[in-house]
Amino acid sequence: MKNILKIYRCLLILGALAFLVWLLHKNIIVQGQLFLTKDFCFPSRFISDLYPEERVGDVEEDDAGNCFQRIFVEPVYFKVKVPRTFARAKVKITYANPQQPIFQFGLMKKKEYPLDWRFSLRLLENKIFDDLSWHRLTEQDVSLWQKKKRFENIYEFVNDVPDDQKTVTFFYQFSPEAVKDKTKVVEWNAETNLNYVDYIIARYQSPEVVASRALTQEVWQENEVEFFAGDEHMNDHSLEFIVSAPGLTNNRYEVKIRKIEVELSRTPTDWSTFFIDINNYFLKKLRNVREKLQ
């Protein structure tokens, strides 16, 4: 009998240790990467629906089995719950945008006070640029449009920005020493007359078409953007994202979102940082308990 009790105790201890190891592995993210997906057909523990409710429609399902939410009024938001801080967040959005010319996406910075709304913005789509017949170069996440081809690559252009022609930037910033005549470089906006522009440079890659339906003329696209996402972007143990489409409301356009994929990354945990991560994990849990009790 005593031997059986000892075996039970050992099994309980081993089970408790195994559960603790599993729990730490799930929350510390030892491998340094976490992949999360939301397809809107099923609730996600980690990625919320779009909100606020008065700006978006309910989750719908089309006859092809795709679930989505419509955006009628912008901006809208969604949250990604994370077990710990990460260095980078890469987000891929699958959407249908038939008319809206500018479609942007951003990550909220840490709020210093309740009405502190600061975002790191990235460009998902610019139909105005995509429809140009200019010569275009794309390298990594930067695109360069030339009204008349003069440069063979983007590196050549950004290190010798022409001072005899006009350049427009969008979500892109030159190093100060690259610009000889600052009057020849301006930031693009919806009122910019491209007839007087020779070059456009933007931190932007055009979205890819992933599905199209001839009967409804609906086109689904996807694009991916990346952010630095350290502790300076954490709000209530979450990363909060903004979906922005300037002019959507006044023009009575709409955008559909059907899938959100998030890849979070950080330096993998090794033996030199393992116990520091465990300590931080339990400290965070204690803070959470204190906050709930207050």
In single-letter form, the type of residue at position 194 comes to L
Within the chain, all domains assigned CATH 2.60.120.260 are found at: 34-141+204-269
Give me the pLDDT at residue 271, please. 47
Express each pLDDT in 139-191 by its tens digit: 989 999 999 999 999 999 998 899 999 999 999 999 888 898 999 999 999 89
Q: Domain 34-141+204-269 belongs to what topology?
A: Jelly Rolls (2.60.120)
Closest by CA position to 263, among listed 220, 227, 211: 227
For the chain, the distance separating the N- and C-terminal CA atoms, rounded to the nearest angstrom, is 48
Token pair in block for residue 34: 């976490």
Q: What is the pLDDT along the chain (294 residues), one digit of tens a residue?
A: 556 666 666 666 565 545 444 444 455 455 778 899 999 998 899 999 999 999 999 999 988 888 999 999 999 999 999 887 888 999 999 999 999 999 999 999 998 888 888 999 999 999 999 999 999 999 989 999 999 999 999 999 998 899 999 999 999 999 888 898 999 999 999 899 999 999 999 999 999 999 887 666 789 999 999 999 888 998 988 999 999 999 999 999 999 999 999 999 987 655 455 555 555 555 565 555 455 555
- 118-134 pLDDT, tens per residue? 999 999 999 999 999 99
Q: Is 183 exposed, middle or buried (0-12, 13-18, 19+ CB in 10 A)?
A: exposed
Query: From CA 279, how far away is CA 157, in angstroms rounded?
Result: 49
CB-based contact 232:110 (threshold 8 Å): yes
Cα(108)–Cα(81) distance, integer angstroms: 13
Q: How far apart are CA 165 and CA 252, in angstroms?
A: 37
Place of tokens 């709409």: 254
Longest dimension (CA), the chain: 94
DSSP string, the chain: -HHHHHHHHHHHHHHHHHHHHHHHHHHHTTTSEEEEEE-SSS--SSBPPPB-GGGBPPPEE-TTS-EEEEE-SS-EEEEEE-SS--SEEEEEEEEE-SS-SEEEEEEEPPPSSTT---EEEEEEEEHHHHT--SEEEEETTEEEEESS---SSHHHHHTS--SSS-EEEES----GGG-S-GGGEEE--TT--GGG-SEEEES--PPEEEEEETTTTEEEEEEEEEEE-SGGG-BTTEEEEEEE-TTHHHHT--EEEEEEEEEEE-PPP-HHHHHHHHHHHHHHHHHHHHHHH-
Of residues 23, 22, 34, 58, the one with CA closest to residue 285: 23
Length of the chain: 294
